[in-house]
Structure 1
């Protein structure tokens, strides 16, 4: 994810709404977005989700009920949320949060299309990477 641009709007207010599972963020240009926790989680900029290069993305499922249980600032340029499923390695720059908020419909459409293409249900549990037979060398007995 590209760094903060010189003329990027900066956040003026950030509220975590637990009941509606939305992150509300207002920016210095007057725009205000409410981004669902699920969208934040499935679009996390972390290597765990995005991979380390093109084609290495990991399709996220079973995140409809995910919550944000903590939020840490990262310098003056980003937030690092901790999700209820233990995911905490995504660093969301202000630019990326602005883009997610402004283009929510496109991000949702892309996500739903990827699910359909993979033949996976949005609410399917994520495979356990520690499960035997998943490259861990574990026994299948």
Structure 2
């Protein structure tokens, strides 16, 4: 599915729903896209420096996040969402563009994460 850079960067969310029991954040965008993003996926791909590091190759592999949930969602201006996780992590600002990217590339990104866990001999548990 090809996507132009234009739609990727300009789509705005029209609906955001947190499903506490299934631990899914559902986001619908004004271009018709709708994504279901598991809390664990959002947590391991947090855009915070704590997870991403301060440059390429400095990413910190997140492990043991299988059961993580979200305790709070807070809009930041008209461009991002601050997500507070129940493990205390709350320093990631998820821009609408980044949330769209996480939704659009979920299959690919999730497989990369599973591969990194396997390579490190680490677990989601």
Normalized against structure 1, the TM-score is what? 0.81
Corresponding position of 2:46: 44
Give the distance between the partners of 2:65 and 2:50, measured in 1 at CA: 15
Q: What is the rounded CA distance, in whole Å, between the counterparts of 1:16 and 1:56 in structure 2?
A: 30
Which residue in 2 is equivalent to 1:74?
76
How far off its partner does 1:7 sit?
Answer: 5.5
Give the RMSD, CA atoms, in angstroms.
1.6
Q: Of 111, 115, 120, which aligns to 2:122?
A: 120
Q: Could you report, residue by residue, the CA deviation over 1:61-118 in whole angstroms, capped at 9, with x for unpaired residues?
A: 1111111000111110000000000000000000010011111101110000111111
Alignment of 1:62 onto 2:64: yes
Cα separation, 2, equivalents of 1:8 and 1:83: 27
**How far apart, in 1, do the equivalents of 2:58 and 2:110 lie?**
20
> Is residue 9–residue 97 contact of structure 2 (8 Å, CA) maintained in 1?
no
Give the greater-gyration-radius structure (CA): 1
Query: How many aligned residue pairs are there?
Result: 120
Q: Distance between the aligned counterparts of 1:7 and 1:59, measured in 2?
A: 27
Structure 1 moving runs of 4+ over 6 Å: none
User: CA offsets, 1:6-43, max 9 Å, x none?
Assistant: 96110000001101100000000011111000000000
Give me the whole-angstrom Cα distance separating, in 2, the residues matched to 1:12 and 1:5.
Answer: 14
8 Å CA contact 1:48–1:58 kept in 2: the answer is: yes
Q: Is the 8 A contact 1:115 1:121 kept in 2?
A: yes
Q: Secondary structure at the match of 2:102?
A: helix
Higher helix share: 2
2:109 alignment partner in structure 1:
107
Note the residue ranges of structure 1 that are not aligned, 5 or more in a row: 124-141
